[in-house]
Amino acid sequence: MLVTLIRRYARPYLPYIVAVIIFQLASTIAALYLPSLNAQIIDEGVARGDTDYIWRTGGVMLGVAVIQVATAVAGVYFGSKAAMAFGRDLRRGVFRKVTSFSAKDVNVFGAPTLITRGTNDVQQVQMLVLLGLNFMVATPIMCIGGIFMALREDLNLSWLVWVSVPLLVVVVGYLVVRLMPLFRSMQKKIDRLNGILREQIIGIRVVRAFVREPHETQRFGAANQELTDVSLKIGALFVLMFPAIGMILHVSTAAVLWFGGQRVDAGEMQVGSLTAFLQYLLQILIAVMMGTFMAMMIPRASVCADRIGEVLDVEPSIHEPLTPTVPAGRSGRVEFRNVSFAYPGAEAPVLSNISFTAEPGQTVAIIGSTGAGKTSLLALLPRLYDAASGEVLLDGVPVTNLARSDITTRVAMVPQRPYLFSGTIEHNLRFGRPEATDEELWDALTTAQAEDFVREKSQGLGARISQGGTNVSGGQRQRLSIARALVTRPKVFLFDDSFSALDVATDARLRRALKAKTADATVIIVGQRVSTIADADQILVLDKGQIVDRGTHEELLDSSSTYREIVESQLSTEAAA
């Protein structure tokens, strides 16, 4: 997958990559040429006392150094450009793909992992590409070029290269292989330790209420000990790395001097060549060392690439109709016809055989215990999911035949978990209809019983909302979420247990105000409190995915035992007890 991804997303930047290769080739050759020039200074200049030659060659060296730096910088320029553009495009690819997902597709992965894949994983792959372009081209050139140049200086010493290079690879490779799992384990221990602290802080009241401080301290101490143990293990191995590498380099140097010295003595090699060989060998070994380090990144990036690939390969399960039907009217009539629905992988259907009609101006309420399928039912209308069988009709047209825009302009939903985006209150309220005026926003806030607390904020509509809406209370979040739906002026309102965090008085006021605002719209309410739904035109009692009873409050009090149970549980604890 890594290769596929890189091939696909790096293709547009092929010219840059070619430029990187050319410039790095040039800069590496220049770098490799320098020791050779130095050798010439010694052999031709120093040994013969030819000062002119020394000056001349020095000038050439300077020129080569300038070329080296210029080409290296150019290489970095194109390398960074290509790698960053690659990352940008890959990120865009993931984002676009996920945006086209249905709720079902999102659930297959879960939002958190999609976020990781879109951010962290892309970054990892991008980093590999960057380092790859900046080093992985130069490193092999340096290595092969170094070997070539070294052999040119003296072929008979080449065995030193063949011995020292594998030795270095084996030593570094061994340490890295041993270290990698330890690093992973250390990261896990750190996560665990931090997890414990995090729990202690978030659950501090529980910890203190149950006097569990000693227990927590002990738990933390154990985790701390574990982390320390792993860190010590890592340390013991890791500190071997540089002394070992250093030793290999130094022994190689000594070997070059010893064996080279014999060849020089035999008159088969020049002294300058000896020094050049020495430097080339060091260059080769450093290149090998870098290459080994770089290679460590590949497995990790490859895991990330696989995870990204999984996202990119998904075929979104909900498609726009190719030739959408344009509904005749815009009244907001909703009809469910024998609708059944099951979550992917689940055995039992969440909804089976649901049929009902909600006319404009009507309020349909849905009540039932947790897990009865209330939320899933609402999700079918805006096509967060598609029904497995049966039809969901909006203004007489099955939603699967409607253009997305025809649905979104008609239906507004207040989800169970009210989610706000970071930004301002204003920006959140305008989310569904950016062109709404300030008056319309205030009007919606008034209806949603949110006017007071927004007015109290010094910045009013411009007050900051943090991500998810965590800086306002649950009740305020719910009311802002209701206001957001009101601003879009839809024909169908879906309230998914949207009043649960409000105290009873606010709840009552809000419902009264809403009634006026939604007079000619279709309203479908999911609720827990009987008081919230008692005045609905039609109440559907949902149990295990089926409508077990339907009717008005009064009718159901008579006819439905389930409904009566629910009502009684809320009105009189004593009676039930």
Partner 1 sequence: MSTNEKVQAAPQKASPDTAPQNGLPDTASEDDFYEEEFTPGEADGGMFGAVASKKAQHFWPSAKRLLGLLKPERTGILAVFAMVAVAVVLNVIAPRILGQAMDVIFGGVVGKQLPADGNKEQFVAGLRAQGQNNFADMLDRMNVIPGVGIDFARLAFLISVVLLMYFVANIFLWLQGYVLNVLVMRVVRRLRDDTEKKLNRLPLNYFDTRQRGDTLSRVTNDVDNIQQALQQAFAQLVNSALTVLGIVIMMFIVSWQLALIALVALPLSAVAAAIIGTRSQKLFASQWKNTGDLNGQIEESFSGHDLVRIFGRDADMLARFDERNEALYRASFGAQFVSGMIMPIMQFVSYLSYVGIAVVGGLRVASGGMSLGDATAFIQYSREFTQPLGQMAGMANMLQSGVASAERVFEFLDAEEQDPETATEHLPAKTDGHVEFRHVTFSYTPEKPLIEDLSFTAQPGHTVAIVGPTGAGKTTLVNLVMRFYELQGGSITLDGVDITRLSRAELRSKVGMVLQDAWLFGGTIYENIRYGNLDATEEQLMAAAKATFVDRFVRALPDGYNTVIDEEGNNVSAGEKQLITIARAFVANPSLLILDEATSSVDTRTEVLVQKAMAALRTERTSFVIAHRLSTIRDADTILVMEAGRIVEQGRHAELLELRGAYYRLYMSQFAGEDADQVLTEDATTVHS
| Residues of span 349-408 touching partner 1 by CB under 8 A | 369-371, 379, 382-384, 404-405, 407-408
Q: Please count the CA atoms within 13 angstroms of the CA of 413 that sit on its side-chain side.
A: 18
Residue placing its CB nearer to partner 1 in the complex, 51 or 437: 51
Please identify which residue in 158, 353, 362, 531 interacts with partner 1, judged by CB under 8 A: 531
For residue 413, give the nearest of 386, 383, 440 by alpha carbon: 383
Residue placing its CB nearer to partner 1 in the complex, 349 or 415: 415
For residue 469, the minimal CB distance to partner 1 (Å) is: 10
What is the DSSP code string of 132-163? IIIIITHHHHHHHHHHHHHHHH-STTHHHHHH
For residue 441, the minimal CB distance to partner 1 (Å) is: 15
For residue 430, give the nearest of 489, 484, 477, 492 by alpha carbon: 484
Which residues ranging from 190 to 209 are in contact with partner 1 (CB under 8 A)? Answer: 190-191, 193-195, 197-209
Residue 414's alpha-carbon distances to 142, 232, 437, in angstroms, are 62, 53, 21
Judged by CB under 8 A, the stretch of 324-332, 344-352, 441-449, 508-516 that binds partner 1 is: 508-516
Query: Buried (b) or exposed (e) across 248-270, using 16+ Cβ within 10 A?
Result: bbeebbebbeebbeebbeeeebb
For residue 147, give the nearest of 162, 166, 125, 128 by alpha carbon: 162
Residue placing its CB nearer to partner 1 in the complex, 265 or 439: 265
Residue placing its CB nearer to partner 1 in the complex, 371 or 396: 371
Which residues ranging from 311 to 350 are in contact with partner 1 (CB under 8 A)? Answer: none
**Which DSSP letter does residue 365 get?**
E
Q: Please count the CA atoms within 13 angstroms of the CA of 350 that sit on its side-chain side.
A: 20
Amino acid letter, 346: A
What's 13-51 look like in SS3? HHHHHHHHHHHHHHHHHHHHHHHHHHHHHHHHHHCCCCH
Which residues ranging from 139 to 158 are in contact with partner 1 (CB under 8 A)? Answer: none
The rounded distance, in Å, linking the Cα atoms of 432 and 487 is 7
For residue 365, the minimal CB distance to partner 1 (Å) is: 13
DSSP-derived 3-state class of residue 472: coil
Residue placing its CB nearer to partner 1 in the complex, 316 or 353: 316
Please identify which residue in 25, 178, 231, 427 interacts with partner 1, judged by CB under 8 A: 231
DSSP-derived 3-state class of residue 196: helix
Residue placing its CB nearer to partner 1 in the complex, 11 or 509: 509
Judged by CB under 8 A, the stretch of 5-13, 140-148, 173-181, 442-450 that binds partner 1 is: 173-181
Judged by CB under 8 A, the stretch of 153-161, 324-332, 531-539, 544-552 that binds partner 1 is: 531-539
Residue placing its CB nearer to partner 1 in the complex, 76 or 388: 76
**Does 184 contact partner 1 by CB under 8 A?**
yes
| 302-305 contacts, C-beta under 8 A, 24 or more apart | 302/1, 302/2, 304/117, 304/120, 304/121, 304/122, 304/124, 304/125, 305/1, 305/2, 305/5, 305/6, 305/121, 305/125
How far is Cα of residue 153 from the mean position of the Cα atoms in its chain? 52
Which residues ranging from 95 to 134 are in contact with partner 1 (CB under 8 A)? Answer: 95-96, 98-103, 106, 110-116, 118-121, 123-124, 127, 130-131, 134
How far is Cα of residue 77 from the mean position of the Cα atoms in its chain? 28
DSSP-derived 3-state class of residue 522: strand
Residue placing its CB nearer to partner 1 in the complex, 338 or 464: 464
Judged by CB under 8 A, the stretch of 150-158, 329-337, 391-399, 501-509 that binds partner 1 is: 501-509
For residue 71, the minimal CB distance to partner 1 (Å) is: 9
Residue placing its CB nearer to partner 1 in the complex, 207 or 388: 207
- What angle, rounded to 10 degrees, do the helices at 2-10 and 297-312 form? 70
Please identify which residue in 4, 156, 228, 561 interacts with partner 1, judged by CB under 8 A: 228
Residue placing its CB nearer to partner 1 in the complex, 18 or 115: 115
Residue 542 near residue 368, CB atoms below 8 Å: yes
The rounded distance, in Å, linking the Cα atoms of 43 and 39 is 6
Residues binding partner 1: number (CB under 8 A):
195
Which residues ranging from 235 to 264 are in contact with partner 1 (CB under 8 A)? Answer: 235-236, 238-240, 242-244, 246-247, 250-251, 253-254, 257-258, 260-262, 264
Residue 357 near residue 339, CB atoms below 8 Å: no
For residue 293, the minimal CB distance to partner 1 (Å) is: 5
Please identify which residue in 7, 267, 323, 516 interacts with partner 1, judged by CB under 8 A: 267
The rounded distance, in Å, linking the Cα atoms of 563 and 536 is 14
For residue 155, the minimal CB distance to partner 1 (Å) is: 19
For residue 97, the minimal CB distance to partner 1 (Å) is: 11
Write the binding mask 50 to 89 for partner 1: x where contact by CB under 8 A, - elsewhere.
xx--xx-xx--xx--xx-xx--xx--xx-xxx-xxx-xx-
Please identify which residue in 148, 170, 210, 437 interacts with partner 1, judged by CB under 8 A: 210
Residue placing its CB nearer to partner 1 in the complex, 360 or 382: 382
What's the token pair of residue 14?
């092929």
